[in-house]
Structure 1
Amino acid sequence: MHNPYAEIFRVPGTKGFAAAAFIARLPIAMAPIGIVAMLSQTRGEYWLAGAVSATFALTNAFAAPQISRWIDRLGQTSVALPTTIISVLAFAVLLIATRYDWPAWTLFLSAFIAAAMPSMPAMVRARWTEIFRNRPELNTAFAFESVADEMVYIAGASLSVGLSVALFPEAGMLVSTLFLALGMAAFLLQRSSEPKVRAPESANVGSAIALRPVQIITLALIFVGAIFATAEVSAVAITKELGQPTAASLVIGVYAAGSLIVGLIVGALNLKAPKQRLLAMSIAVVALTTLPLLVADTVPLLALAIFASGVAISPTFIMAFGLIERRVPEAMLTEGITWVMTGIGIGMALGAFVAGWVVDNFGAQNGFWVSVAAGTISLLVVLLGQKALAGAGEVELPQAVPQAAE
């Protein structure tokens, strides 16, 4: 029986860089929650732990696209190597500052500098694109990476917290930092699969976020990310309200399982429909499946509704990254992918905040209204942007704003 996933790994080097990329991106999930687990145990102040974690996460969300922009211009090794070294050293300072009770400002400063960590999900997708550009195998490769992202978020957070609780407070962050250093080193040493640096068609090129397709997809996925976070926050609140708090991890796991299974299936299919339509269809399913969450008032019903709500998440990401590959110039691909990843991260942060506020003020069940609203807005964004997303194959490079004459 034909296995499309086996096909993509027959290309020499793909197994190596995919394995290294998985290890190197574990800190995406491990670091934010690891900082909270570490500082909450050593300092006993959750506001401080949350603030330092947010400093890292938000700074990285906005720094990563700029780092990726330089990666497109200079190459993965030339940029990712020094930025990773900076990030690893800053994480090391954060660990030392925690262990030896240094002043709080050192925690914030080291977390801020650690945000120089480059976007591994963008870099590994750029390598797949270099190999399978304009071929159906690229859809399978993107599906594999979406599933890998899901596994990172499931395993990374649990591993980080588990290590900190079972061993010592800094254990989760220590392992996360080692994964970043070793995984990135293994990834960058595989030079044969590194994408070529392509000179832009214009010498005065602006940012990928100036491209209309990148704006539309990033905005749409901000709201999809909000759905993802809202489901987690509301699931924890509802299971606690029902007197079964331990069921929260099971419910959240079911959510990821639904996304993972359907993502693998979609990646194995050679879908012929235009990707902008497939993206709209995926988000329509995401929006529609938020409705049963409003009436899930028992743990079994909640698990079933959450599973249904998760089935279209991975397909949405697969189509979104496929469109970025089609609509963004080759010289700006890594930056374009990183902006979409940034949108997902911003959406998760905002979704968790808004859902938490709704739960506190209007009850656990009403938290899912945030999911309904976010799904509706995301669908409207993609429907209104269909013409731009279906644009011609050639994309005009955005021009940087010229400097005023002295």
Structure 2
Amino acid sequence: MTSITDDRSLIAHTGWGYFPVAFVARLPFAMMVVGVLTLVASVRGSVALAGLTSAAVGVGVVVAGPVIGDLVDRRGQRRVLVPVGLANGILLALFPVVVLTGMPEPVVLAAGALIGLTAPQAAALSRTRLVAIARHRIGGDRRERTLSRVMSYESAADETAFVIGPVLVGLLAAFLAPWAPIAVAAALSFAFVTAFALHPTAVMADRDAETAPARAPVRDVLSRPVLVLVAATFGVGLFFGSTLTSLTAFAQSTGDGEAAGLLYGLMGIGSAALALTVMLLPARFALRWRWLAFGAVLVAASAAYALAGDLVAVIVALSLMGLGVGPTLVTLFSLAGERSPAGRSATVMTLLASALTLAQAIAAGVTGALAEATSAQAAMALPLGAAALVLALGVVNARHDRAAEGPSGAAPARAR
């Protein structure tokens, strides 16, 4: 494709209206796992079933996510996202009926899996869309600066959505009804995912998808530098899922299970704040070292959470955990943007998003079962294991990058 570049800012190309639409379009994805967990736990009275249903959502996401990403890379965003968003809205609207009418557990699990299969990948596709606009519409030195800001903004927006999503679930479930969060997620999917899919910026991304001169083969996505990011994002998902479910068990043990989403949101306050400021960090603080630094914070805070014995200690630990997880997630997606093979940005981004959601759901299932079999306190130790995995993979990434630099110390294009 022939690029048409100029000196205008990214917002001049997208328009201000793009950003609120793209942000709200993320919320159904951010709300569905927590909303399913809360609804099933509240109505059926089983944290184990709720965790398994959330796991079914994650299985659906991981099966469909990379397929959706590949279809978008080949056919464009509008053709894929419009039918996916509408189908997801319908399935979300039907899920409370399935749970509230007492349908058998296999039907509940199947309904959760279908929600995951149609999960709209708005966050990954927004990142892909803005990167395409920056690369093909913005010229000169501004392009690289814009690409860096896009990655920071998108990761911060993801974090903020993952904060607002659970908080919305907690508020709606506590003040309206346990089915209210899923009903709201369905309405948002119908309205905002469709609006995001049809936004004029999609035309630019679709044109890139249709006319890309050299799309890398799928096997390039499975390279070691990309797979270590997928594995680390999976670890972050394990952290999210085990934290949320152990927190749900803790809240239920205090007689206020619907408050779990609100408590979970406390972790997101520091997470979102740090994610928004990552773009201000100096370039010499390389991405691989950020991964190690913030991963270490996550491990320390998770240890405090595992040892917390009362509500005040849990609140303090959750706040500290947010200081580690937000910047870590920003770093992983920034590295993914740099390491995506040509023409495979949507595939890589949806692969990371799928790994995050799958791990979150699997951890929810395992943690829920452990909480019911033993205690909430035992389940609260699991986030520490997930945090340790993220940090260990950061060490692997740093060692690989240092080896790739060679004796000269000059970093290759993809080793950051």
Q: TM-score, normalised by structure 2?
A: 0.77
Q: Which structure 1 segments of 5+ residues have no match?
A: 1-6, 396-406
Provide Cα deviations, 1:194-213, integer angstroms capped at 9, x if missing partner: 4222636368x225641212
Partner AA of 2:68 in structure 1: I
- Name the CA distance, whole Å, in 2 between partners of 1:240 and 1:40: 10
Alpha-carbon deviation of 1:99? 8.2
What is aligned with 1:30?
Answer: 31
Q: Which is worse superposed, 159-168 or 299-308?
A: 159-168
What is aligned with 2:158?
Answer: 149
What is aligned with 2:82?
Answer: 81
Alpha-carbon deviation of 1:313? 1.1
Contact 2:152-2:279 at 8 Å conserved across structures = yes
Alpha-carbon deviation of 1:244? 8.3
- Name the CA distance, whole Å, in 2 between partners of 1:358 and 1:98: 23
Alpha-carbon deviation of 1:71? 0.5
What is aligned with 2:356?
Answer: 344
Q: Which structure 2 segments of 5+ residues have no match?
A: 1-7, 136-142, 405-411
What is aligned with 1:400?
Answer: none
What is aligned with 2:149?
Answer: 140
- The 1:363–1:135 alpha-carbon spacing in structure 2 relative to 1, beyond 3 Å, is same
- Name the CA distance, whole Å, in 2 between partners of 1:168 and 1:116: 25
Alpha-carbon deviation of 1:217? 0.9
Contact 1:235-1:248 at 8 Å conserved across structures = yes
Q: Equivalent residue of 2:26, what SS?
A: helix
Provide Cα deviations, 1:259-284, integer angstroms capped at 9, x if missing partner: 11211221333433332232233223
- The 1:313–1:182 alpha-carbon spacing in structure 2 relative to 1, beyond 3 Å, is same
What is aligned with 1:130?
Answer: 132
- The 1:107–1:295 alpha-carbon spacing in structure 2 relative to 1, beyond 3 Å, is closer
- Name the CA distance, whole Å, in 2 between partners of 1:99 and 1:298: 33
2:168 to 134, 159, 176: 159
Contact 1:235-1:252 at 8 Å conserved across structures = yes
- Name the CA distance, whole Å, in 2 between partners of 1:20 and 1:146: 16
Partner AA of 1:82 in structure 2: P
Q: Which is worse superposed, 180-189 or 126-135?
A: 126-135
- The 1:14–1:225 alpha-carbon spacing in structure 2 relative to 1, beyond 3 Å, is farther
- Name the CA distance, whole Å, in 2 between partners of 1:149 and 1:53: 20
What is aligned with 1:17?
Answer: 18
What is aligned with 1:370?
Answer: 382
Partner AA of 1:303 in structure 2: I
- The 1:39–1:237 alpha-carbon spacing in structure 2 relative to 1, beyond 3 Å, is closer
- Name the CA distance, whole Å, in 1 between partners of 2:160 and 2:340: 27
1:178 to 183, 187, 196: 187
Q: Which is worse superposed, 106-115 or 118-127?
A: 106-115
- Name the CA distance, whole Å, in 1 between partners of 2:249 and 2:98: 34
Q: Equivalent residue of 2:120, what SS?
A: coil
Q: Equivalent residue of 2:343, what SS?
A: helix
Greater length-normalized contact order (CA 8 Å, ≥ 6 residues apart): 2
Q: Equivalent residue of 1:118, what SS?
A: coil
- Name the CA distance, whole Å, in 1 between partners of 2:325 and 2:189: 26
- Name the CA distance, whole Å, in 2 between partners of 1:113 and 1:366: 31
- Name the CA distance, whole Å, in 2 between partners of 1:208 and 1:120: 24
Provide Cα deviations, 1:120-145, integer angstroms capped at 9, x if missing partner: 11001112222445623434333333
Matched, 1:393 2:393: no
What is aligned with 1:191?
Answer: 200
* Map 1:181-220 → 2, pairs under 5 A: 181-192=190-201, 194-195=204-205, 196-197=208-209, 199=212, 201=214, 205-207=217-219, 209-220=221-232
Number of positions where the alignment pairs a residue of Structure 1 with one of Structure 2: 388
Alpha-carbon deviation of 1:329? 1.7
Contact 1:328-1:336 at 8 Å conserved across structures = yes
Q: Which is worse superposed, 193-202 or 243-252?
A: 243-252
Contact 1:208-1:336 at 8 Å conserved across structures = no
- The 1:247–1:52 alpha-carbon spacing in structure 2 relative to 1, beyond 3 Å, is closer
- Give the % identical residues: 24
Partner AA of 2:312 in structure 1: P
- The 1:297–1:337 alpha-carbon spacing in structure 2 relative to 1, beyond 3 Å, is same
